Amino acid sequence: MYKLSLFILISGVFFMTFSQNSNPFFQQWDTPFGTPPFDKIEQAHYLPAFKAGIEEQNKEIEAIVNNTEEPTFENTIVALEYSDGLLTKVSNVFFAMLSSMTNDEMQAISKEVSPMLSKHNDDIKLNPELFARIKTVYENQDEFDLNTEQKRLLDEYYKSFVRGGANLSDEAKEKFRKINEELSLLSLEFGENVLKETNKFELVLEENDLDGLPESVKAIGADEAKDKGYEGKYVYTIQRTSLYPFLTYSTRRDLREKLYKGYILKGDNNDEFDNKKKLSRMAALRVERANLLGYNTHADFVLEERMAKTSEAVYELLNKLWEPALKVAKKERDDMQQMIFDDGHDFELESWDWWYYSEKVKKAKYDLDEEELRPYFEVTNVIKGVFDLSTRLWGITFEERDDITKYHPEVKTFEVKDRDGSHIGILYTDYFPRASKRGGAWMSSFRKQHVDKDGVYQTPIIYNVGNFSKPTADKPALLSIDNVNTLFHEFGHALHGLLSNTVYPTLSGTSTPRDFVEFPSQVMENWCMHPDVLKNYAFHYETGEPIPGELIQKIENSGKFNQGFATVEYLAASFLDMDWHTLTEAVEHDAIEFENTSMNKIGLIKQIVPRYRSTYFNHIFAGGYSAGYYSYIWSEVLDADAFAAFEETGDVYNQELANKYREFILSKGGTDDAMELYKKFRGQEPAIEPLLERRGLN
């Protein structure tokens, strides 16, 4: 019996060691620049790595708590900062793949891991001995001679523990844990439902259903049909790269309605993917959690850590923009309604008509056709354009690398170097839609820039993901103006991660207040359609000819076109977000009734649907933007004012300003107060007038 037990024990140890040796997450990555070895990572590796990462961090925290020395910044805050090495390593890869390479197995793992991580986070934040040490350091910080970044890190940890329930009673802590666990699962399920709804819907058409569609849009449908096995047919989906071109050009009003309703009814079809009860439950749980922590609303809890500070300040900004935007949107609606009458029709404009008739109005007013522009925005040229802009502004260069393993064949990898040739970091780009990828566009990191616990500088590994139109059988990927703006936007986030120069990972790159983090991304959009920049990257994909001056002039002339619609649909979603999160009672509301009341309150016209309806509002119910979707317009006040600074010099490549922007914005991460950083760059607080001027709302 003893020999058998010994054999089992030895076998178990051997198996565990063998498993760890074969699991890439338990090894140092001997790859170029420490990039993830995607050719070796298997789905079976994630769960063991998560469990080991949690165990490893628990041991690190136990050592901090049991340290007999008096709490100091180094033995408590710094030790805690570097306690999650393995857990961060696996999390960064897993959640990136969950968003862009998901499948049933990945989603099953996420449902097992999510409550595990929620519990682990609560175990840390609700650890009384650990919080006691943090509190001691916080209350005696003057004794430690801390610099600005260290003070910021200490402040972040102290507040995160207080906001994480550290001061709650034991009974309240247990309730807090259960709320967090339920919210984490609901959030996952909400996002999964949106993805499944998106992949499920398809509009299958015949050749005679394609009236009005340009050849490029027909090609989108033909390629989609081929991928889905519909030989000789055309398929359009509610992915935006398929949806918007169809809505813009199809003369078939019935089909536009069918496709558009497929989009706006995601999560609202009373089937297995319905999100109404999930989101209502989440909103109620957030109120309950906020109340436990002593806040009146979830928004009060969230905004305390934002530049806006209060829901009153957010509503004030939204209302300030709403009235002029709605006025412009109504004028745009009336122009389109008149065109409908002029065409001999008597129907009333509806939401699914907006893209079609706004394109006709734009053609009539500005002689500008989106299809006329696409040939000049071939995706590789646009990428080269944003690279060249970065070289011109900051001296950084991008070299494609073929020796870095990728998680999908369409992904490209680039080494980023500084003006002196030194290595800055690695950038992955992943720009085309697929069934395994959620919709939208985003940036994140496989590794944040930081200095590790051994004092070694760790360079960033950043990725940009999008869902732009794919190449077709006879054409490369040609982008719309909106796609180009999105690519520049996400690249702005990438720069924020790449050019970060901080010590601690918690404060690195995009780790800033939510209503500041969109500033570096949105400011990049100002350059992409500027005439001086367009000339350097907008070349016809067939002839190589630069975009003609008259087309650039048309783009400039139409710059404020449809801005009433764009502003109103965005603001409507922002109001909806704030209304969900300024609830004061933990009551589960009827989601559709609540949404309708919210939109009626602001007087939203029926021809415009909020950019995101509640049932597919991933930003706030499956992402980190709850009570924060307003951030884009808050940041736009900053970005419009910042770019005005460049324009005031007469040189959009002004080196002095570019260097200040890199020094005080891109490199600083969250190491100082966001408004203080902005004022160091600009010399003053931002004015709202440049934004109003740019959107034609003044």
The whole-angstrom separation of Cα 692 and Cα 698 is 5
Contact 45, 24 (CB under 8 A): yes
Q: What is the 3-state secondary structure (H, E, C) of 61-114?
A: HHHHHCCCCCCCHHHHHHHHHCCCHHHHHHHHHHHHHHHHCCCHHHHHHHHHHH
Q: How many of the other CB atoms lie within 10 Å of CB of 375? A: 19
The whole-angstrom separation of Cα 381 and Cα 374 is 12
Instruction: Give the strand pairing for 423-430 and 461-465.
Output: parallel
The whole-angstrom separation of Cα 381 and Cα 367 is 25
Contact 369, 415 (CB under 8 A): no
Backbone angles phi, psi at 444, to 5 degrees: -160, -165
Q: Give the pair of three-digit tokens for residue 231.
A: 């030989």
User: Which residue is it, tokens 């089992």?
Assistant: 8
Backbone angles phi, psi at 236, to 5 degrees: -120, 140
Q: How many of the other CB atoms lie within 10 Å of CB of 7? A: 10
Report the alpha-carbon angle 158-164-168, nearest 5. Answer: 100
The whole-angstrom separation of Cα 629 and Cα 444 is 18
Contact 461, 89 (CB under 8 A): no
Q: Give the pair of three-digit tokens for residue 305.
A: 């850590």
The letter for the amino acid at 347 is: F
Contact 398, 414 (CB under 8 A): yes
Q: Is 304 annotated as catalytic?
A: no
CA distances from 423 to 411, 416, 462, 492, 693 (A): 21, 6, 14, 19, 40
The letter for the amino acid at 430 is: D
The whole-angstrom separation of Cα 364 and Cα 325 is 22
Q: Say what the alpha-carbon torsion angle 34, 37, 42, 43 is, to the nearest 10 degrees.
A: 50
Query: Kind and range of the H or E element at 115?
Result: helix 104-125
Select from 401, 407, 417 the least CA-distant residue to 446. Answer: 407
Contact 642, 682 (CB under 8 A): yes
The whole-angstrom separation of Cα 450 and Cα 461 is 11
Q: 490, 518, 569, 636: which is the annotated catalytic residue?
A: 490
Q: Give the pair of three-digit tokens for residue 221.
A: 């449908």
Contact 22, 85 (CB under 8 A): no
Catalytic sites, residue numbers:
490
